[in-house]
Structure 1
Amino acid sequence: MSYTPANVLLDIHTSALAGMGSVPKPFAPWAALAAQEDYPDADLSEEHFRTTLISGDPTLITLWSRHLTAWDFAEGPKWAQDSPARTDERRLAIYERLRFGSDLRKALDNAVPVAKLPGPTVITKEFTPWYTPERAAARSFYWTAYERKLRAKGWSDSAVASLDEASRAVVERLADPEQAEARQAKGLVVGYVQSGKTANFTGVTAKAIDAGYRLVIVLGGTLNLLRAQTQRRIDMELIGQENILRGADPDDLDSLVGVDYVGDGDEDWPDFVRHGGRPSVLGAFDIERLTTRDKDYKSLAQGIRALEFEKREPTLPLCDPANLHHAAARVLVVKKNKSVLQKLVKDLKQIHGLLGELPALIIDDESDQASINTSDPKKWERGSTDRTAINKLISDLLGLLPRAQYVGYTATPFANVFVDPGDDQDIFPSDFLISLPRPSGYMGAQDFHDLDSAIPLNERTYANSQEKAHVRGIYESTGDRLQEAMDSFVLSGALKLYRADHGVPDGPFRHHTMLVHQSVRKDDHAELALRINSMWHQAGYSSTAGHARLADLWESDFAPVSEARASDLPTPSSYEELRPYVNASRQRIGSGGQPVVVVNGDTDLYFDQLDLDFDRTPHVWKILVGGTKLSRGFTVEGLTVTYYRRTTQQADTLMQMGRWFGFRPGYRDLVRLYIGREEQFGRDKSVDLYEAYEGICRDEETFRDQLARYAEMVDGVPQITPRDVPPLVAQHLPWIKPSARNKMFNAELVEIRSPGRPIEPASYPLDRAALKRNTERWRPLLDVLDATPRLFTNPPDASSALDRKFEALTGAVSHTDLVKVLSQLEWERPQYFDPHLTYLRQLDGTLAKVDNWLLISPRLTSGARVEAGILGSVPLSLVRRNRQAGKAVFGRIASVEHRVAAQRLIDQASSAQGSSAVGPTTGVALLYPVVEGKTHSDVTAVVRNGAADPSKVVMAFTLIPPASAVSTDRRLVRFRAKDSRHRDDATIPASSS
């Protein structure tokens, strides 16, 4: 090739960076060394480098992006001077090591900004580090191939680095496959619904087999379709063509008969990973597949022989490096099916003398489905250990393979952390629990709910409200809106085709689906599918009336949402410009005369007949009607419109039904959720499905936040281990159980310490006599409130546009007086507040010292204000709130602007910027006289002659202790848990484990 100055610079920089390895070093000497032989006259000045960057040279920027991002993400390297990963401080440490000048640093920052992404949250018990960067780099054949494949798929450097970090966090907590002593580790990886967990466990598999694991068993769902999808993904992105062909000539058609993918003309075969030759010939090792895309594990003699490993050094165990790194790896992707797993267990039992030497890895996808032991707990209490089928077979595998490591993957972890931690044969994640960060580009709860939005309802727009942009409520007054949802499906399909025709890659638009989920009953599915079919044929999508209806929906909904949310994407200027694509969308959806597919079968044969393999089918443009089978594992590709009206009593089941969560590249603005509001639930209850989802999403995010908070090490020791996690779930039980009762394990949270953080109880009494007693207990503190209101202001800052003002009555109370009142309060469920009260009682100097509290009783705006005295107090502003449907607890009590103002007082006090009213040993208490009701008149009804009925007022509060209210040991939680080893006594795992 002919060399240009840019080619020369790229060649020199490539060599220099390669010479450094994984550690940034002074760049100039390495560049000079790289240039001296081939380019002795090359311009190596920083100015030339900077100018080339500013010109936007893509190859040079790509090169530096990969290296800078890798260094940005490196966890705790010695050269980083304790700078945290993915921060400006880390980037500064890198530049200092490279010895770059300020101008070049600015150019690099502009070309490759720091990816300030969250890392994985790791709850772990102590372990012996073995998977060092040097060891990982020394053997990385399959990880390098997988990484290369991800980049070819369009993954960014930061996305690859994030996966590298998260998968390393798993592998380093497994046992060292080379160690002489057999040890098992069990862990759980928590992702988000449809968020790419497969990519993580494929990365873990790549690194694990590179490190020495020689048997990998992937439990890939409960249906052949799901198992086959997982098998294909691993084959394509990790195992690769050469391992699949096993020496067959890809140009010899006769030798390819019966070979997966290439033999049956899979159109994606060219995209399967290529290693450039048999890995064993290239100095690595081969992977032998013991399952194929269409065949699960079979109990055959050849299967037994395939599991036998040859040793290069017969006198040494297989796990010795002399044998381990020359042996082929075996990979199985098996269905969670009793007969399949029994065959595998039977074959393993026939291999004598080897299993104790075999490093094995068991990956359990959707590990809270089928894998959990759901046998009657009463039988266990009587000494019975009769496990459920799949759980027993997993236990058998772990028993047969003393070096097996178990890693479960799920988006709904509650069932897994409630497994009995005292049962060593079960799958409780005793060694580690890793919460993956929310991936970039993912549409989750935050994209469908205005969580904690301070924007008033009447000021919300398509631009500032997620709900307004994407959610269409189904109320009794609006009718069922099913026709509108189907119209949205046709219209959004037309917009996808328009975008594909106007410069947007059509890859994301290969599939286009609508999901209708209204009932679990199969008879209901058939009836609904028939109705939708009839509606489709009567919709008149080719008629003048049909186009007029779509044009109205385009003008009123899709056009303004797309303008607000996707102004950078091609958008038609009018419906007439879109009209030809509407016809094309209609034709695709209605192809074969059947726009609707019912998905509710229980058998593999049923799913085979559906022709819904999104990997192997060129285009799926259909309306899917179903129930449970659409709620777990079955990934609905291209999902754009969801019509959802079915509820459940279990939070994890409800979350798994959230198929509208996922990646929506190129069409986020087109996603619509039609969801039931105030649906009937049971005989006499109603539930707002949208609010139910928001509630469980809050609980899940709280769980993740708590994990992140407690993951910080204290004096090099974990604050909590996985055995201490169950109470983190139990303290926020929603109106539906976190999981099925037979999956939950009892645990008690003794204490929660919240220095500088809000405490907001929600489980207030239902009994009016108890409410009155609580009000009477608060009454003495109300006298400290000054009748003259104080003005609070929330100035906008970089993180919030909140600038609302409000008035409040204020007064100071001693810590002793406040705790005295709190200790006397009655609760519907005392266990929710007791752990906080344990902490607050110790702030008398036992744990830390709090002198007093600023009591703040906010006033509502004048138009909505109802004021009344409480048992003779000054008039207070009554607040209307509702308990969550079907349960005793309220939703959020404190208004956002009030919490922001209170938090600012605490934060300023901790940084010595506070006013005299709030010092470093002063807490803030927001007090709300709450009246339950749905309308303004419900509030006025409890007031008579300027006084509120104390039996109809809930004295609710939010407390924020001062940031100084923490002990020297910095621990935040303390637990008491019971497990099967201590059935009759309480232990404190947080301090004794």
Structure 2
Amino acid sequence: MTNIDALRVNLHRSALAGMVRRPKDLRRALAYHAEDEGSEAAPLANEEDFRSVLRAAASTDPLVELWRKQLTQWDYAESADWAGKAPRTDERRDEIGALLGLSAETAALLTALIPVPRASSAVVISDAFTPWYTPQSVRGRSWYWPAYRRVLQDKGWSPEAVAGLDQATDRVVERLADPAAPTAYQSKGLVVGHVQSGKTANFTGVVAKAMDAGYRLVIVLGGTLNLLRAQTQRRLDMELVGRENILRGAGADESDYADDPAWARGDFLAHGGMPSALGGFDIIRMTTRDRDYRSLLQGIVALEAEKQEPALPLNDPRNLHRSHARLMVVKKNKSVLGKLVKDLRKIKTPLSEIPVLIIDDESDEASVNTANPRRADANRTAINDKISELLRMLPRAQYVGYTATPFANVFIDPSDSEDIFPKDFIVALPRPAGYMGVQDFHDLDSPVAPEDRTVANSNELAHVRDIRLIDDEDCTDLREALDMFVLTAAVKLYRMDHDDLDDHFYRHHTMLVHESVRTKDHHELRELIDRLWAESRYYSAVGHERLRKLFDADIAPVSRVRAGSWSTPEHYDDLAPYVGVAVMRVSGDGEPTIVVNGDTEKGYGEADFDRRSLWKIIIGGQKLARGFTVEGLTVTYYRRRANNASTLMQMGRWFGFREGYRDLVRLYVGRGEKAGTKEVDLYEAFEAICRDEESFRTQLAQYSTWVDGRPQVTPAGVPPLVAQHLPWLRPTSKNKMYNTRVVELASAGKWEEPTAYPTESVDLAHNTGLWLPVLESLDSATTSFSYHYDAEEQERSFDARTGRLEPERFLELADSMRWTTDQQFAPLLRYLHKISAPSAGMLDDWLVLAPQHATGKRAALIGDASRTYSWFARDRRRGAAFGAVSEPRHRAAALRIAGALPAGGNRTTEALVRARRGVVALYPVVESRHREAVERTGRVAAEKVVLAFSFVAPAAARSSDGKVVWFTTVDSGKG
């Protein structure tokens, strides 16, 4: 950059520095500051010079970058007194240009170089709140947020990303209570991010702004493991607390980070002195990287000692903004939280005066009460009880949970005032730029036909590799995954040479193997991988030939179309010199693997990404399944099953930011527990989770807009938005769903069998009266049905009387039925209403089957019927509900007719198959107390028979979005 260029940048920097609050006339500002720069600056202090530079400028020129930062702040600004147009719109940019006094040509040049940001903003579901967090309310007090913003900029965050975080954190902080308000209020909220997507950055920003606004005790609940707590502590210390607050007058070598390379490199934030001496306030750490919260001899340092006005409460602004803030990162452990509660009780300052912020990282783990509320002796689970106790003790405490899997949190009873239901707000963070999430491994709703997909247009073909042979003794897929790990390591080394990257750019290169939570399995797997590694012969001609084939078949074609500007060798021979170096980096110390679990056995290494560079194969289970970031993760070998979406999604450690190696990421995933089957397709499960999540986020966005000054939906109304796309994969674990009930159950092509029939005579007679005309309308002759599953299986055969029902008639019957509990049938009834609508185009008619016993026994006249019908002996097994009512041999033909099974070889059955036909099977049930009389007389009164039915909806009667279950939360306060 020439002297003139540097002078011009300094001139514009000075001009823009006076426009932090709002855009002002640029020519006047340039002319004013040019007087201080000397005569050389005069020719640069006009719009014509600026315009001429923009015509030839690149988007990365220093002057453009300077304007990018400022324009982005104005583009994102909300509730600004100067702005009349919506943020991040062309109209807002035109408004900015007009306030700057720019000509149309100059404004157009700026927009061409710095396009209007179109990034999505955070979606907020919120109850009404009183605005208090405004630019005016925090003027002159900001210290830690500006410092954190500088940290992010120095880390290479784009202006758009920093502005987006600024906006998203505002949405959270403005919904907390005003820390200086005379009356205490306790808000509770939930922030929903994506797995490995930067939630820590968001809550660090929230903590910074909350402290600046006056919150003086911040408690971060940093997961359930020391591993995660320490990782969170380091991140906050490095990017928020800063060197001076860490040292507090001690020497640099006395820091708990003295052995951390980042400390020596100067990567920790430096304020330039103690913040309190520079016009800010200090942060006192109550925990360190290696030390969780410990009981103090005299409790937390007395806050009243820092009151400038002893007669006033701490939350009075005259005290609040002159006192230090205290920060602790605490593991979710009963003993640790118990010590904190005990110490808080020692504080002399009334707890009602202390503005407290509780950040709960991974808030759906351990924090949620999993005790069954229906049990008379139900007590809160340990962690939930301690969090509730903290909230009871601290009237000014604000609780904000953070998670990527929010379903357990929104299923909490909204009326339990001591629990952590997010009653005030739910903020859904947008998917950040550069993030590689579950969508990037699937081809959801791709317009490209499967046969036309390539590695260029298919995420699955580019990044996902099947674990095909689960019981393969030769470990074919695991060997290939190890080879892929070596190849991708070599490509990274190649890029370091050819893209002029420093060694720190690819500081970590890892492979994750996740098969089990059992430590014994981890040890056995380590021995296996170490053996496979030793046998791989990466330095030999045989090893190189194997790598060459994998490079040519996999790495080369994918990187050719997905590497972007990153260098990739054209031929394996160009990569071969880097293979040996890559292998040495991984196993030069003789240990290619690291086991990360709860086993304390020595020699198993430690996944410490802070103190050293790691190029390793990491084997683990639960310790690596939530919150903990596996740095440099490139190859994943994943086979572990989970039975709920939250647990499975949190195991997705392969999600995250992959700058410089996105094209190299590979996921080896199990496609069935048995070779060649689809019993448990983990890839399909992740796709279902993705659809569950997208459904939830889409509907949050849909209902986030307020109407007539009021929210459409408050957090208490959110649970009905939770859907489930895969029948066996619940949204969260069973013990976190005690407060849920099913709103709708979509059951296309499934045998559904209600069992909660009434016990009162009047209700039984009512139901019999509904169905008897249908029975009487059936053919008098029976039809024989059968179905062959395969050549070796016994034929499923039965005789039945048949008939048909129009959709409206069946719906009328279903609507009129009486039950011991309506809720059991209500979710199915809602689905029946949906598919029965003529506009849905899903259902033409119902085939009615009344199975008849082949022997003619157990037949009777029912009520005033004109002919006999077979009846079935069943008894109630679960209170008032029956167990199974139908017989298994009846189901196959019905499923086939509804399109849920392939052709089964029976002409009669096949002739009745229709794409939009459902099947209803009728079962007159006689309970044991009435059987003797029925068998003796051949009659059964209408009030002594249970007219049960089962149904199969057409297999094609699926919603376009694939949802199969809808949930809501039971609010105990509403009865």
- Larger displacement relative to structure 2 (466-475 or 823-832): 823-832
1:67 to 70, 86, 94: 70
- Kindly, what percent of the aligned residue pairs are identical? 53
Paired with 1:337 and 1:428, the residues of 2 have a C-alpha distance of: 20
Report the counterpart of residue 973 of structure 2 in structure 1.
981
Q: Describe the shift of the 1:316–1:490 C-alpha distance in structure 2 as closer, same or farther (beyond 3 A).
A: same
Paired with 1:551 and 1:976, the residues of 2 have a C-alpha distance of: 54
Offset, 1:8: 4.0
1:573 to 562, 570, 573: 570
Report the counterpart of residue 631 of structure 1 in structure 2.
625
Q: How does 1:108-147 map to 2 (within 5 A)?
A: 108-147=110-149
1:620 to 595, 606, 614: 614
Q: Which letter does structure 1 place at the counterpart of 2:498?
A: H
Report the counterpart of residue 560 of structure 1 in structure 2.
557
Report the counterpart of residue 323 of structure 1 in structure 2.
319
Q: Which letter does structure 1 place at the counterpart of 2:607?
A: L
Paired with 1:667 and 1:580, the residues of 2 have a C-alpha distance of: 19
Paired with 2:513 and 2:907, the residues of 1 have a C-alpha distance of: 42
Offset, 1:581: 1.0
Q: Which letter does structure 1 place at the counterpart of 2:439?
A: Q
Q: Describe the shift of the 1:385–1:208 C-alpha distance in structure 2 as closer, same or farther (beyond 3 A).
A: farther
Q: How does 1:266-415 map to 2 (within 5 A)?
A: 267-268=263-264, 270-301=266-297, 304-305=300-301, 309-379=305-375, 382=376, 384=377, 386-415=379-408
Paired with 2:724 and 2:260, the residues of 1 have a C-alpha distance of: 54
Note the alpha carbon deviations across 1:334-378, whole angstroms, 9 max, x for none. 111222111111111011233211111111111111111112322
Offset, 1:869: 12
Q: Describe the shift of the 1:242–1:818 C-alpha distance in structure 2 as closer, same or farther (beyond 3 A).
A: same
2:425 to 418, 432, 435: 432
2:289 partner SS: coil
Question: Does the Cα contact within 8 Å between 1:763 and 1:832 map onto a contact in 2?
Answer: no
- Larger displacement relative to structure 2 (831-840 or 158-167): 831-840
Question: Does the Cα contact within 8 Å between 1:724 and 1:975 map onto a contact in 2?
Answer: no
Question: Does the Cα contact within 8 Å between 2:143 and 2:212 map onto a contact in 1?
Answer: yes
Paired with 2:842 and 2:48, the residues of 1 have a C-alpha distance of: 59
Paired with 1:620 and 1:483, the residues of 2 have a C-alpha distance of: 21
Instruction: Indicate yes or no: 2:32 matched with 1:18.
Output: no
Calculate the TM-score normalised by the size of structure 2: 0.79
Report the counterpart of residue 234 of structure 2 in structure 1.
232
Offset, 1:180: 0.8
Report the counterpart of residue 80 of structure 1 in structure 2.
83
Question: Does the Cα contact within 8 Å between 2:262 and 2:610 map onto a contact in 1?
Answer: no
Question: Does the Cα contact within 8 Å between 1:508 and 1:638 map onto a contact in 2?
Answer: no
1:533 to 526, 530, 535: 530
Instruction: Indicate yes or no: 2:255 matched with 1:259.
Output: yes
Question: Does the Cα contact within 8 Å between 1:869 and 1:948 map onto a contact in 2?
Answer: no
Offset, 1:564: 1.1
Instruction: Indicate yes or no: 2:618 matched with 1:646.
Output: no
Paired with 1:474 and 1:975, the residues of 2 have a C-alpha distance of: 33
- Larger displacement relative to structure 2 (208-217 or 102-111): 102-111
- Larger displacement relative to structure 2 (166-175 or 290-299): 290-299
Note the alpha carbon deviations across 1:892-935, whole angstroms, 9 max, x for none. xxxxxxxxxxxxxxxxxxxxxxxxxxxxxxxxxxxx997335x7
Offset, 1:608: 10
Offset, 1:29: 3.1
Note the alpha carbon deviations across 1:438-485, whole angstroms, 9 max, x for none. 111111111100000121111101100000000011224995511111
Note the alpha carbon deviations across 1:671-722, whole angstroms, 9 max, x for none. 11111112259xx981211111101111111111111111111111111111
1:305 partner SS: coil
Paired with 1:342 and 1:855, the residues of 2 have a C-alpha distance of: 59
Q: Describe the shift of the 1:709–1:749 C-alpha distance in structure 2 as closer, same or farther (beyond 3 A).
A: farther
Q: Describe the shift of the 1:702–1:940 C-alpha distance in structure 2 as closer, same or farther (beyond 3 A).
A: farther
Q: Describe the shift of the 1:573–1:730 C-alpha distance in structure 2 as closer, same or farther (beyond 3 A).
A: closer
Paired with 1:494 and 1:265, the residues of 2 have a C-alpha distance of: 25
Q: Describe the shift of the 1:235–1:947 C-alpha distance in structure 2 as closer, same or farther (beyond 3 A).
A: closer
Offset, 1:95: 2.0
1:672 to 666, 672, 679: 666
Instruction: Indicate yes or no: 2:719 matched with 1:722.
Output: no
Question: Does the Cα contact within 8 Å between 2:217 and 2:356 map onto a contact in 1?
Answer: yes
Offset, 1:765: 4.0
CA-based RMSD: 3.6
Q: Describe the shift of the 1:942–1:534 C-alpha distance in structure 2 as closer, same or farther (beyond 3 A).
A: farther
Report the counterpart of residue 459 of structure 2 in structure 1.
466
Q: Which letter does structure 2 place at the counterpart of 1:386?
A: N
Question: Does the Cα contact within 8 Å between 1:76 and 1:82 map onto a contact in 2?
Answer: no
Q: Describe the shift of the 1:947–1:695 C-alpha distance in structure 2 as closer, same or farther (beyond 3 A).
A: closer
2:522 partner SS: helix
Offset, 1:120: 0.5
Report the counterpart of residue 449 of structure 2 in structure 1.
456
Paired with 2:18 and 2:832, the residues of 1 have a C-alpha distance of: 59
Report the counterpart of residue 598 of structure 1 in structure 2.
595
Question: Does the Cα contact within 8 Å between 2:897 and 2:909 map onto a contact in 1?
Answer: no
Q: Which letter does structure 2 place at the counterpart of 1:566?
A: A
Paired with 1:176 and 1:768, the residues of 2 have a C-alpha distance of: 54
Q: Unpaired segments of 5 or more residues in structure 1?
A: 249-254, 752-759, 778-816, 844-851, 858-867, 872-927, 962-973, 986-993
Report the counterpart of residue 663 of structure 1 in structure 2.
657
Report the counterpart of residue 148 of structure 1 in structure 2.
150
Q: Which letter does structure 2 place at the counterpart of 1:647?
A: R
Paired with 1:729 and 1:169, the residues of 2 have a C-alpha distance of: 23
Report the counterpart of residue 943 of structure 2 in structure 1.
none
Q: Which letter does structure 2 place at the counterpart of 1:396?
A: E
Q: Which letter does structure 2 place at the counterpart of 1:50?
A: R
Paired with 1:594 and 1:614, the residues of 2 have a C-alpha distance of: 16
Paired with 1:763 and 1:550, the residues of 2 have a C-alpha distance of: 47
Paired with 1:393 and 1:607, the residues of 2 have a C-alpha distance of: 34
Paired with 1:442 and 1:304, the residues of 2 have a C-alpha distance of: 40
Report the counterpart of residue 203 of structure 2 in structure 1.
201
Q: Unpaired segments of 5 or more residues in structure 2?
A: 756-769, 775-805, 818-822, 848-895, 920-951
Q: Describe the shift of the 1:636–1:574 C-alpha distance in structure 2 as closer, same or farther (beyond 3 A).
A: same
Calculate the TM-score normalised by the size of structure 1: 0.77
Question: Does the Cα contact within 8 Å between 1:220 and 1:336 map onto a contact in 2?
Answer: yes
Question: Does the Cα contact within 8 Å between 1:119 and 1:437 map onto a contact in 2?
Answer: yes
Instruction: Indicate yes or no: 2:436 matched with 1:443.
Output: yes
Q: Describe the shift of the 1:80–1:556 C-alpha distance in structure 2 as closer, same or farther (beyond 3 A).
A: same
Report the counterpart of residue 580 of structure 2 in structure 1.
583
Paired with 2:302 and 2:845, the residues of 1 have a C-alpha distance of: 81
Question: Does the Cα contact within 8 Å between 2:597 and 2:620 map onto a contact in 1?
Answer: yes
Q: Describe the shift of the 1:632–1:218 C-alpha distance in structure 2 as closer, same or farther (beyond 3 A).
A: same
Determine which structure has more spread, i.e. the larger CA radius of gyration: 2
2:751 to 766, 772, 785: 766
Q: How does 1:880-895 map to 2 (within 5 A)?
A: none
Paired with 1:942 and 1:622, the residues of 2 have a C-alpha distance of: 62
Note the alpha carbon deviations across 1:523-552, whole angstroms, 9 max, x for none. 222222211111111111111111100000
Paired with 2:908 and 2:255, the residues of 1 have a C-alpha distance of: 77
Note the alpha carbon deviations across 1:239-283, whole angstroms, 9 max, x for none. 1111112123xxxxxx44532224777655511111111111111
Note the alpha carbon deviations across 1:728-777, whole angstroms, 9 max, x for none. 115657422111122125356879xxxxxxxx95545426999xx99xx9
Q: Which letter does structure 1 place at the counterpart of 2:751?
A: L
Q: Which letter does structure 2 place at the counterpart of 1:64?
A: W
Question: Does the Cα contact within 8 Å between 2:177 and 2:398 map onto a contact in 1?
Answer: yes
Offset, 1:308: 5.3
Q: Describe the shift of the 1:589–1:981 C-alpha distance in structure 2 as closer, same or farther (beyond 3 A).
A: same
Paired with 2:32 and 2:673, the residues of 1 have a C-alpha distance of: 72
Paired with 1:264 and 1:665, the residues of 2 have a C-alpha distance of: 24
2:485 to 489, 500, 506: 489
Q: Describe the shift of the 1:461–1:930 C-alpha distance in structure 2 as closer, same or farther (beyond 3 A).
A: farther
Paired with 1:427 and 1:337, the residues of 2 have a C-alpha distance of: 17
Q: Describe the shift of the 1:494–1:49 C-alpha distance in structure 2 as closer, same or farther (beyond 3 A).
A: same
